[in-house]
Amino acid sequence: MVAVAVGSQLLTFAGLALTIALAGVVAAFLIVTERRRHEAAERELTSEARFLESLVETMGSIAGGAEVLERTRQEAERLFEARALLLGPGERPRQAPAENAIVIPLRAHEEEIGALRLTRQRPFDRDDVVRATVLADFAAREHENAQLLGDARVREAERSRLSDQLITAEQDERRRLAGLDQRAAARMIGETEGDVGFVRHASFLSCFSKN
């Protein structure tokens, strides 16, 4: 009986130790898994932050510059590590069977002014589409702003040209009128002098006849 009791106690202790060991293994596995998940999340967040930082820098380099759409195409190639192509409004090339490509419309006031086509070896995910759309929307607005600014500059140049022409015409007219005034004054002086001479001559003849 004593041996049986001792054996039962040993089995109990062994079972308890095994349970504790298994619990430790499970806990260690969960800790390692959670750590790996946390590290993966950190890497993803870091990558996301770096991409967003690059996207902001890209927008800053595009804003206010010349050739907005071409600059956008170049920056898209750098950001997405892909080949970028600018398409015309409504243009949609046929996609090859093994080609990974996305086409992002460029719209201004709901009107398509073109599209950005990206192709690369690895597939594009949903985040890539969202980011490319943000870049395309920003580029379309900047392109429109650049056109409006260009039109405003053309109108200002035309206004300045017309203003210069008007000023020149006014100056020419003033000089012409000044010349007319001078000639008129000269004629008046000449006529006055002639009248005075005539009066003097008449007075002399009058005096001579009386004598």
Per-residue pLDDT tens over the stretch 143-168: 888 778 778 888 888 888 888 888 88
Per-residue pLDDT tens over the stretch 176-187: 888 776 777 667
**Is the per-residue pLDDT at 15 higher than 60?**
yes
**Is the per-residue pLDDT at 174 higher than 70?**
yes
Decide: 108 and 52 in contact? Cβ < 8 Å: no
Instruction: Name the band, by pLDDT with cuts 50, 70 and 90, for residue 92.
Output: confident
Predicted confidence at residue 5, as pLDDT, reads 53
d(CA 38, CA 46): 12
Predicted confidence at residue 119, as pLDDT, reads 94
**Is the per-residue pLDDT at 82 higher than 60?**
yes
Predicted confidence at residue 187, as pLDDT, reads 75
Both tokens of residue 24?
């430790």
Per-residue pLDDT tens over the stretch 105-141: 999 888 899 999 999 999 999 999 999 999 999 999 8
**Is the per-residue pLDDT at 210 higher than 60?**
no
**Is the per-residue pLDDT at 25 higher than 90?**
no
- Give the 3-state secondary structure of the chain: CHHHHHHHHHHHHHHHHHHHHHHHHHHHHHHHHHHHHHHHHHHHHHHHHHHHHHHHHHHHHHCCCCCHHHHHHHHHHHHHCCEEEEECCCCCCCCCCCCEEEEEEEEECCEEEEEEEEEECCCCCHHHHHHHHHHHHHHHHHHHHHHHHHHHHHHHHHHHHHHHHHHHHHHHHHHHHHHHHHHHHHHHHHHHHHHHHHHHHHHHHHHHHHC
Predicted confidence at residue 128, as pLDDT, reads 92
Share of the chain above pLDDT 90, in %: 22
